[in-house]
Amino acid sequence: MTNIESLFSYTVGRYEAVDHLLSMGVGAHFAALIFFILTSRFVAPRYRTATALSCIVMVSAGTILYGQSNLWEQAFTYNQSTGLYDPAQETFSNGYRYVNWMITIPCLLTQLLIVLNIRGNDLFKTATTLILLAWAMIITGYVGQLYEIESLGTLMIWGAISTVFFIGMNWIVGTRIFRATPDMPAPAASPMRKVFWLMMFAWTLYPLAYGMPFFEASSTGVVIRQALFTVADVSSKVIYGLMITYIAIQRSAAEGFEPAMQVTDLLPQRGTVAA
Ligand code: RET
């Protein structure tokens, strides 16, 4: 048993809340996948990799959430006599998420650098540094969460080590965003700054979910943790991806890419009469 999820029995309401949150996450990611596929043609080839990376993130995260939702259903059985869902043979674990972040976070960071128009050697070096910091953050966090039942102290120590990498990564992300925005076209610069604050908000929810055994080790804490994960997932991947695609389209339009100019109204639509 590695996660506090397997320690408790759940009322029908709490059990279903978690089940529904996980299913909602699956739906949001696959719906967004369709959107990214359909809108990629409005993004200039120069930025299209960013949208492609969003597609990869959607499939990867959507699949893992589907697995989490199945696992949740297998990990508890309904007890007729108490009216509660009790732990079953199978144990629930959040560890799958951490492993999945090894793939999704590098994609999220790289797509950011692409819409910031960072290229060549600079792209390679910055992406490598960010990815190494992210992996260090995830691996230390993964090790820490293995101790969440056994030793809260160990959980917090690994969490603190992981946070050092997290801060380093955010520092680089923030510096690059705020250095690039003055040279970006206005309709792209403003959402770009918002992306930074969205990241700060959404990414911080993950360490809060990690620390839940410390703050509230109960079935309520489990529901709060899964709610935090869901809000974090939808914000850091789906909403973030939509904003990145929006920025990519705005940049494409400003650079004269016709399909982007059409959707952003920079070109008169065929068939409309000029006033
Ligand atoms: C951990 C361990 C505790 C300390 C910190 C953590 C940070 C996790 C983050 C996860 C972001 C995940 C994303 C996933 C997208 O698919 C590892 C929980 C700081 C920031 C963006």
Determine whether the shortest distance from the Cβ of 141 to ligand 1 is under 6 A: yes
> Per residue in 216-274, pLDDT tens?
999 999 999 999 999 999 999 999 999 999 999 999 999 999 999 999 977 666 655 55
* Ligand 1 closest atom vs CA 100: 16
Mean pLDDT of the chain: 96
To test the pocket of ligand 1, the residue of 206, 229, 234 to mutate (highest count of ligand atoms within 8 Å of its CB) is 206
Determine whether the shortest distance from the Cβ of 206 to ligand 1 is under 6 A: yes
Average pLDDT over residues 203-213: 98
pLDDT of res. 224: 98
pLDDT of res. 51: 97
* 33 alpha carbon – ligand 1 mean position (Å): 22
> All domains of the chain, ordered by start, with CATH?
4-263 (1.20.1070.10)
The answer, yes or no, to whether residue 150 has pLDDT greater than 90, is yes
* Ligand 1 closest atom vs CA 142: 17
> Per residue in 109-132, pLDDT tens?
999 999 999 999 999 999 999 999
* 43 alpha carbon – ligand 1 mean position (Å): 29
* 34 alpha carbon – ligand 1 mean position (Å): 26
pTM over 0.85: yes
Q: String of b and e for 222-237 (b: at least 16 CB within 10 Å)?
A: bbbbbebbbbbbbbbb
> Per residue in 95-112, pLDDT tens?
999 999 999 999 999 999
* Ligand 1 closest atom vs CA 166: 19
To test the pocket of ligand 1, the residue of 162, 172, 212, 240 to mutate (highest count of ligand atoms within 8 Å of its CB) is 162
To test the pocket of ligand 1, the residue of 58, 68, 98, 101 to mutate (highest count of ligand atoms within 8 Å of its CB) is 101
Closest CA to 236 of 205, 202, 209: 202
Given phi > 0 = left and psi -120 to 50 = alpha, else beta, which region is 271? left
Nearest CA to ligand 1 atom 6: 207
Determine whether the shortest distance from the Cβ of 240 to ligand 1 is under 6 A: no
* 137 alpha carbon – ligand 1 mean position (Å): 7
The answer, yes or no, to whether residue 164 has pLDDT greater than 60, is yes
The answer, yes or no, to whether residue 149 has pLDDT greater than 80, is yes
> Per residue in 60-69, pLDDT tens?
999 999 999 9
* 186 alpha carbon – ligand 1 mean position (Å): 31
> Per residue in 31-41, pLDDT tens?
999 999 999 99
pLDDT of res. 271: 59
Nearest CA to ligand 1 atom 17: 141
pLDDT of res. 265: 79
